[in-house]
Structure formats: C-alpha cells, structure tokens
Amino acid sequence: MTNAKDVFLYKRKGAYIPRVAAVHDLCGYGKCSLGVAIPVLSAAGCDVCPVPTSLFSAHTRFPKWYMHDTTSMLDEYLDAWQEEGIELDAIYSGFLGAPEQVDAIKRMYGEYPGALRVVDPVMGDGGKAYPTYTPELCAAMGELVDGADLLTPNLTEAAILTGTEYQGQNVDDDFVRRTMDALLELGAKNVVLKGVVRGDGLIRNYVAGADVQMSEVSGELLPYMLHGTGDLYASSLLASVMAGQSLLEAVEFASTIVRHAMRITNQQPDFEVRGVSFETILGEVTALV
C-alpha cells in the first residue's frame, strides 16, 4: 500500500495553466459553490470554466431563497464547448439541481477522458439531505462515485452514498475504515472523508485510496458551523492537487485554509448565515504556485 504523501493526481508542467470545469450552482448572496470555487482555483493558477447547475438568489440557510434549475440549457452549453474545441484538465462537480444533470457530467467524462474527475457529492449535512435533494437526485449523484479520481463526502453524504444509517460525527477509526472501503468498492479511486468529531477539541478528516493506506489529518475544532466550508474545503483540496502537491499535502492544506477562513468569518457581521469569508487568505492559495 502507498502512503498518501507519495500520491500525486496531477503533475503541473512549467508555466502551463490547467483548465478546470467547475460544475456547481451559482449563488447570489451567501458565499458557497461557484462563488468559492472560481476565486480559489483561480488563485491557484487554474483557468476555471463554470458550468452552472442552478442559480440561487441566496443559499438555502436563508429563510427566503429562489432557485432556477439550468438543466434545460446544459446540452447546448456543452455543445458550444465542443464546437470551440475546448480542452479540460479536470472536471470538478458539486451541487446539482436535478437528476438529469448527472448525465451532463457523464457526457463531459466521455468527451474529456483524460480529465481528472473530482466529485464533491454535495447532498446534506448533520444527518439530513439539503431541501432541494430528492431521493432521485441522491441516487443519481451516487452514479458519479464509480470512476471518481477523488471523492470528498462528509459523513452524511457517505451514509447516503453507501445506503447506511447516519451514525453522527463521533465515529471510531474502524467505522471510518469500513465507510471508506465501501466507497472505494463503489468505484471511487481515492476518498477524503470529512468531519469526524470525538469531543476532544479536534476535527478529523481521512484520506484513503484503492492502493493508498488510510491517513488522518486533524486540526482544531472551532465552536461554530458555517455555510460554504465544504465548498471551500473541496476547492482548496483541488487547488493543491492542481498545483502539483501530493494527496496528503492537499488534505492538510484544505484543512488549514478552512480553519483560517473560519477564524476570519467569525469577525464579520451576520457570519452565521453570510458564508465563509476566504477573501483575505487567498494569498495562501496563490503561494501554492
């Protein structure tokens, strides 16, 4: 078995700027999804090509929000990319607006077979699916697990994907190992499982692969939750990978970035719903390249 510190998913070549398709929703207010992915990956020297899966007035933690499903436009959107001969180095998917959007992502996999497949299965948290996620959409999301070069679920999403009961965040290493093995058996090549909390003041994230031994990365658990931290984590993880860092370095980097951003967010008005404030730490991402 290989250690995650020796696994590299992307080799950066000289001054080349890799192109990443970010298949996420776009939120007008409340920092998350494309509002996080575009600046973070751009800071890491990536050319970010958005594929908007939904348009939101604000994220769903606000009491009032409007959602526009973009499914009907995706075929023509991707047709235009094909006509222009656009090339991609990575396909990074997150929040989806409808089950049919999985077909659009699968189409991209077929048209860009050499692109890194990064799946953040944004479906829920705290043991519950998000309001817009139907059982049909959750099932469709599961189809993206097979073949994912990097899968980044939290414990809720891992339970949904594996069809098991959510056990909370206080789970032991044996449970983590069984869960990651189940996700690898579904076809994921590498998995980062996020958010294990055991009451000792730490939050733990784990990384493992089909031929990669399980490693733990832990850090200080801050006493508040924020919207958008999952998007910041996955985007920072991919930023590190695309900068040529190892899988373990990427997990460590993403954990650090989220913690730094959360400390800054705590100083902002209405920070509980406003979303994670990452703007002033983008220099840490730029330093990757």
Query: Three-state SS for 126?
Result: coil
pLDDT of residue 229: 95
State the Cα angle at 198 between 197 and 201, rounded to 5°.
80
Adjacent-strand bridge partners of 257: none
Selection from 157, 155, 18 nearest residue 94 by Cα: 157
pLDDT in tens, the chain (289 residues): 999 999 999 999 999 999 999 999 999 998 899 999 999 999 999 999 999 999 999 988 888 999 999 999 999 999 999 999 999 999 999 999 899 999 999 999 999 999 999 999 999 999 999 888 999 999 999 999 999 999 999 999 999 999 999 999 999 999 999 999 999 999 999 999 999 999 999 999 999 999 999 999 999 999 998 989 999 999 999 999 999 999 999 999 999 999 999 999 999 998 888 889 999 999 999 999 9
The answer to whether the beta carbons of residues 49 and 88 sit under 8 Å apart is yes
Per-residue model confidence (pLDDT) at position 155? 98
- Other Cβ atoms closer than 10 A to 263: 13
Please, which residues have CB within 8 angstroms of residue 209's CB and are 6 or more apart in sequence?
Answer: 2, 4, 7, 184, 189, 190, 191, 247
- Looking at this protein, which amino acid is placed at residue 232? L
Q: Is-contact 153 190, C-beta < 8 A?
A: no
- pLDDT reported for residue 63: 87
Residue 61 has what pLDDT?
Answer: 82
Nearest residue to 281 (alpha-carbon basis) of 260, 253, 250, 251: 260
**Which pLDDT does position 272 carry in this prediction?**
85
Give the whole-angstrom CA distance, residue 93 versus residue 22.
6
Given the structure tokens 């950066």, which residue do they identify?
Answer: 12
- Alpha carbons within 13 angstroms on the beta-carbon side of residue 162 total 24
The predicted pLDDT at position 280 comes to 97
Full-model pTM: 0.96
In angstroms, rounded to a whole number, what is the distance separating the alpha carbons of residues 48 and 114? Answer: 17
Helices (H) and strands (E) in the chain, counts: 10, 11
CA dist 6 and 37 (Å) reads 26
Find, among 192, 238, 183, the residue nearest to 214 by Cα.
Answer: 192
CB atoms within 10 A of CB 140: 18
